[in-house]
Chain A
């Protein structure tokens, strides 16, 4: 049995049946890492020794294994805190930050029997759409080493696509799970805001950030979400379950039944196609791939309805105003005093702050900090930040109306397939605009899923996005599952990346990466 061909659930089952040992699985993944990551640069830190120890410990308890993911090796985006393991956010300023605590999501997966292989590369502080802004060098797309894997969870998408682990968890603030998933041909979902604790997720934009899985298929996503989702008292924005004791008010969520709900039966499901999402600026091949996906869903008994979504043009500017504003505040704590990196030379306190932050942050991060500082500064707050919060309300209401007419929306994830390395960095505004189909979902706090729906002429994966109403994860996953019962795009794998392909960055190597396999 070729382990790397299995999905997380298939591997989990094989482990519970005793056909595969957890150590064997972990070693297989670590071999894949050493074979390919020199070229892909998907990992910042590889914790091979820890992984094998953990695998042995779990193997001992395999008889009374709890849950379908027990013993399955995976990896974690490097903006999610891991106790005792460096968590860098792909930034120089957190180059040697080792948290004394685990993120709630990491706890949850540990309880589900996860074996972590290490920490995944990303855009610095999750600010980017290509995973090229990492201080530790760009991630490469396993389908074409000359191209970007998307971002900001590019390392996660590349790792899963290249079989370096059976699933990964990333974060999605404006598309950072869905867009790289589509560029790398994997399935990723950003759940409803508040359903996965943000405790231990290093904040980019607190009101938009959400943790979610990148997997081989929808069923794996459902299984990982079942483990990830749940109320956490440490995160005041986390939503309680229906049975949890809670003196607040607001929505309650029935957690933990997504996998059971995957029937693949979507007969009578109304799927909306927002015409504004198929207009100008959308690559022809992407358009036809997504529309073809719509037909497949129709073939499974879904109903297609075209509808307008006129607020689309306002999503990107509103998103960047809100995200940058929150980021400018969230990233102020990185000043070289309490943790992380401090400039070598400085003259006095003010200079310590300036030099540490100027040398510690990359260009894109500094650009967004300045932008965020601008929209909050006195005299501009109302015109920009307050306005953006009003537009956020408008967009949320627009979605509410749309979901009165349909159960789900089907849209492209990105206007094009994966761009060539370097292509996007030259023009930040252009890069921001490419987030047009994903950011509105975060503004409204909705769940959004990206699934592979084809390959373009260059043999690059194309993704389709499903958007649901709040707590519509079940419907999203079931629709994706139905699609994947009909198609095998999600089974397609890139050719293994040669180990000898030259490393993408001079910065690579010990010291900075510090992984025990590098």
Chain B
């Protein structure tokens, strides 16, 4: 698998990160090495294997539909870098 500078920019865009001009080449080479190493997995034949996301056969963990009082708004807004009295503020969103 070839990692290109374009791919790095695409991934950076998806993850809302800026890759500076200076770092792009280094980052590309680094990821190339890591991804190349990950390709050792292809030595293992897993065609018959079900992927597992949960190790345990835990299932159907549900809660009752009972209202729990919400958190005090002031407490929720306290940690925000830019709140007003009622809401979290962000720069104008289009539409």
Give the B-binding residues of A (Cβ under 8 A). 96-98, 100, 193-194, 207, 233, 236-237, 239, 246-251, 311, 313-314, 317-318, 320-321, 328, 332, 335-342, 346, 348-350, 352-355, 357-358, 361, 366-367, 369-371, 373-374, 377, 380, 383-384, 386-394, 396, 428-429, 432, 444-445, 470
Contact = CB atoms under 8 A, between A and B. Distances in A.
A444 B11 contact: no
5 contacts: A320-B38, A332-B15, A340-B79, A352-B90, A394-B46
A370 B27 contact: yes
A390 B11 contact: no
A445 B71 CA distance: 33
A346 B81 CA distance: 14
Nearest to A444: B55
Which one of B37, B41, B55, B57 has the greatest number of beta carbons of chain A within 10 Å? B55
B34 A335 contact: no
A465 to B, nearest CB: 19
A16 to B, nearest CB: 37
Interface string B84-95: 000010111100
A448 B8 CA distance: 36
Interface string B57-94: 11111110000000100011011111000001011110
A248 B15 contact: no
A371 B52 CA distance: 20
A86 to B, nearest CB: 10
B27 to A, nearest CB: 7
A432 B75 CA distance: 39
B58 A349 contact: no
Contact of A428 (B18, B30, B57): B30
B78 A100 contact: yes
Contacts of B35: 371, 374
Contact of A97 (B44, B62, B79): B79
Contact of B75 (A100, A335, A383, A391): A100
A321 B41 CA distance: 11
Contacts of B11: 370, 373-374, 377
Nearest to B14: A373
Contacts of B42: 387
A315 to B, nearest CB: 10
B59 A249 contact: yes
Contacts of B14: 373, 377
A353 B78 CA distance: 20
A391 B42 CA distance: 10
A251 B91 contact: no
B50 interface: yes
Nearest to A194: B56
B51 interface: yes
B71 to A, nearest CB: 6
B34 A248 contact: no
A470 to B, nearest CB: 8
Contacts of A311: 44
A358 B63 CA distance: 38
B54 A432 contact: no
B17 to A, nearest CB: 5
B17 A366 contact: yes
Given A314-B44, A377-B11, A383-B1, A429 B33 contact: yes
Contacts of B41: 314, 317-318, 321, 384, 387-388, 391
Given A390-B50, A393-B50, A100 B76 contact: yes
Given A321-B38, A370-B15, A428-B34, A391 B81 contact: no
Nearest to B47: A390
Contacts of B38: 317, 320-321, 384
Contacts of A314: 40-41, 44
Contacts of A247: 60, 62
